[in-house]
Structure 1
Amino acid sequence: MSGLRERKKQQTRQHISDVATGLFIERGFEAVTVAEIAEAAEVSVNTVYNYFPAKEDLFFDRATDSIERPARRVLERAPGESATEAILRGLRQDIEERQPWVGLSEGYGKFMRTVFASPALLHRLREMQQQTGQRLAEVLRAEAGAAADDRIPELVSEHLMSVQASVFRTGGACLLNDEPVPEVAKRMLEMLDDAQWLMSDRVLDYARRPAA
C-alpha cells in the first residue's frame, strides 16, 4: 500500500506541475496565482503548497535532480574514469538521447522565453546553478581527498559548470530561434567537444578512480 500511495503522490505532484507550467507559458509566471493553479488542477491551495513550498518550484519541479546530477555522475564514475570524464560523458549522452532536462524537444523555446521574461525565475535558475556547483565541489573534494583549504575542487567545479552552462546556453539560444532540434543537438555536441579539447590534463585527470 505504501508503494501505491507514493505513486499517487508523485502523479498528483506531476499533474499540479504540468498544469502550472502550462499556465505560466500561456500567461507569464508573474500573472498566474497559486490559487488559479489550484483551481485549474482541481486541488486545494494547501495541497499545492504541500508539494511545492514556493511558486518557483512549480516551474522548476525537477530542481533537486538537476542539482544532484553532476555530483551523482562523479560518485558513479567507472573504474579508471576521472570526475571530469564522467560529467562530460554523461552530458554528451544526455544530448544524444534527447533527455528532457537538456531541453531538446519541440516547444522548449516557449519554456525558455517564460524564464527570460520572469526576474523571479531567472533568480531561481541562478540559485540552482550555484547550488549545483557547490554540491559538485563537495563531492570532488571528498573523492579527491583534498584538504579543507584546497581551492582546486571549487575551481574544477566552477570550470565544469561553466562548460555545462555554455552548452545549455548554446542550445537555448538556438531553440529560441526555432532551429530544428537535430541541428541544435549537433551544435551543442560540437561546443562540448571544443570545450573538452581546450581543457588541461590536470582538469581532465582530476579525481580519477583507480582502475579495477
Structure 2
Amino acid sequence: MTGLRHIKKQRIHEAISTAAISLFLERGFGEVSVAEVAAAAEVSKPTLFKYFATKEDLVLHRIADHQGEAARVVRGRQPGEEPLEALERHFLAGLERHDPVTGLNDHPEVLGYHRMVFSTPSLAARVSHYVAVDEEALAEALMESTDELTARLVAGQVLVVQRVLAHRNWRRLAEGETAAQVHPAAVHAAERAFALLRHGLDAG
C-alpha cells in the first residue's frame, strides 16, 4: 500500500506540474492564478499547496531536481580524478545528451521554459536562491579535499561558469540556431571555461 500511495502522489505531482507549465507557457506566469492551475489539474487549491508551497515552485521544481548535483559529482568522482575534471566531464556529458540544465536543448517547451524563468523577476530571484544553496553544498564537498577558502572560491566560480555557459547556449538557440549547430561551439566554450578555472587568465 505504501508503494501505491507513493505512485499516486507522484502522479498527482506530475499532473499539477504539467498543467502549470502548460498554462504558464501559453499565457504567461503572471497571468495565470494558482486556482486556475488547480482546476486544470483537477485538484483543490489546498491539495496543490501540499505538493507545491508557492506558485514559483510550480515552475522551479524542475530546476530543484538538480539541487546538489555539483556536490554529488565531486563526491562521486573517479579515483584519482580532480574535482574540476569531474565537473567538466559532467557538464560535457550534459551537452552531449542536450540536458536542459546546460541550456543546449532546442525543444520549444524547453526554450519557452527558460525564457519564462529568465524574464520573470520572482522566478529569477528564486533561481538565485537555488544557486546559493548549490554553492554551499559544493563548497562543503570540496572542503573534504582542500581548505575552506579555496573550496568556497572554487565553488562560487564553478556555479558562475555553469550559469554563464547555460545562458549563452540558450540565447543562441532562442535566436534560431539548433542544438546540433551550437553543440561544437558549446563544447569549446565549456572546455575553455574550465581551463580558465584551472589556470586563470593565462589559459585564455
Q: What is the TM-score when the length of structure 2 is the normalising length?
A: 0.90
Residue in structure 1 matching 2:137, options 127, 135, 138 = 135
Amino acid at match of 1:134: E
Residue 178 of structure 1, aligned match among 176, 179, 198: 176
Q: Report whether the alignment pairs 1:60 with 2:52.
A: no
Alignment partner of 1:17 is 2:17: yes
Q: Which amino acid aligns with 1:47?
A: T
2:125 maps to which of 123, 126, 141: 123
Structure 1 SS opposite 2:61: coil
Which residue is 1:88 aligned to? 88
Corresponding residue of 2:75: 75
| Distance in 1 of aligned mates of 2:185 and 2:199 | 24
5 Å-filtered alignment, 1:9-48, equals 9-48=9-48
Matched length: 198
What RMSD, in angstroms, separates the aligned Cα atoms of the two structures?
1.7
1:167 alignment counterpart: 165
Residue 125 of structure 1: how far off its partner (Å): 1.4
Task: Find the aligned partners of 2:71 and 2:190 in 1 and give their Cα distance.
Answer: 18
Could you tell me how far apart the structure 2 residues matched to 1:100 and 1:165 are?
Answer: 12
Residues 66 and 132 in structure 1, CA contact (< 8 A), matched pair in contact too: no
The structural deviation recorded for 1:59 is 0.3
Gaps of 5+ in 1: 203-212
Q: CA-to-partner distance for each residue in 1:60-85, whole Å, 9 max, x for gaps?
A: 11333322110111111110111111
SS of match in other structure, 1:25: helix
Q: Deviations over 1:8-31 (max 9, x none)?
A: 211211111111011111111111
Is residue 110 from structure 1 mapped to residue 112 from structure 2 by the alignment?
A: yes
- Quote the offset at 1:145 in angstroms: 5.3
Q: Match of 1:79, SS?
A: coil
Runs of 5+ consecutive residues of structure 2 not aligned to the other structure: none
The letter for the 1-side match of 2:145 is A
Distance 1:168 1:125 in 2: 13
* Greater relative contact order, per chain length (Cα 8 Å cut-off, separation 6+): 1
Deviations 1:35-76 (CA, angstroms, capped at 9, x unpaired):
000001101111110000011110011333322110111111
> Higher helix fraction: Structure 1 or Structure 2?
2
Rate the CA distance shift 1:109–1:178 in 2: closer, same or farther, 3 A.
farther
TM-score normalised per structure 1: 0.87
Percent identity reads 34
Q: Name the amino acid aligned to 2:72.
A: R
Q: Say if 2:154 is the partner of 1:152.
A: no
The answer to whether the Cα contact below 8 Å between 1:56 and 1:120 also exists between their aligned partners in 2 is: yes
Separation in 1, partners of 2:55, 2:21: 11
